[in-house]
Amino acid sequence: MEKKHVIDAIIECGIVAVVRAESSELALRAVEAALAGGVNAIEVTFTVPGALEVIRTLSKGVSSDVILGAGTVLDPQTALDAVDAGARFIVSPNVNLATIEAAKSKGVAVFPGAFTPTEVLTAWQAGGDIIKIFPANVVGPSYFKDLHGPFPNIPLMPTGGVDLSTARTWLEHGAIALGVGGALIDRKLLKEGNFGEITERAKKFREIVNEFRMGK
């Protein structure tokens, strides 16, 4: 899948499920649950034990419409390894120019993390495709709205603390998509084996996105 199609598909979905789990097995079950709820943009973070193998397994076992990415990518070699394992987009919590360049060299989308106006512009000018605003919960939607003001043409995605109660507000303030971690892939639910609740939350997040875009 070409980079443009990956970006378009993520924007269309509106939700990127940020997968953090204490084992590779739980990560795979979490992905399965999110997909069942209609969230097909999946970010497997490198905090997951055996993250590369999880990405490799998913890249071989899921349908072609699933958009699989790697998160918490802190250096260029990890980015290269993730792409070789099957990741179609790379997400980092910070602006690392070498990591951005590594992703670009592989022809995949890259979403660097930024927090300040300077970081946003630096990440964008370096070749970031969508700029991840992180940690978004520290400042909230009002800051995001102010940040979006001078950068109307830069696609921004809040991540960190985005939940069902705030999702629509982030969208109203200009978010092109939402990175959702614990409010969707809840570690407590994973430990309990309550994957059905993860699926239901995924459905609710997708419903919020769809209703917003339909003007409801």
Cα 11 from Cα 146, distance rounded (Å): 21
In angstroms, the CA 158 to CA 140 distance is 9
- 132 as an active site residue: the answer is yes
Of the residues 22, 43, 172, 197, only one is catalytic, namely 43
Active site residue 43: yes
Give the DSSP per-residue string, 183-200: TTS-HHHHHHT-HHHHHH
Catalytic pick among 132, 145, 203, 204: 132
Q: Which of 76, 58, 78 is nearest to 67 (CA)?
A: 58
Detail the DSSP E strand segments found in the chain: 15-19, 41-45, 67-71, 89-91, 109-111, 113-114, 131-133, 156-158, 178-180
Strand order in the sheet with 178-180: 109-111, 89-91, 67-71, 41-45, 15-19, 178-180
What is the set of active-site residues? Answer: 43, 132
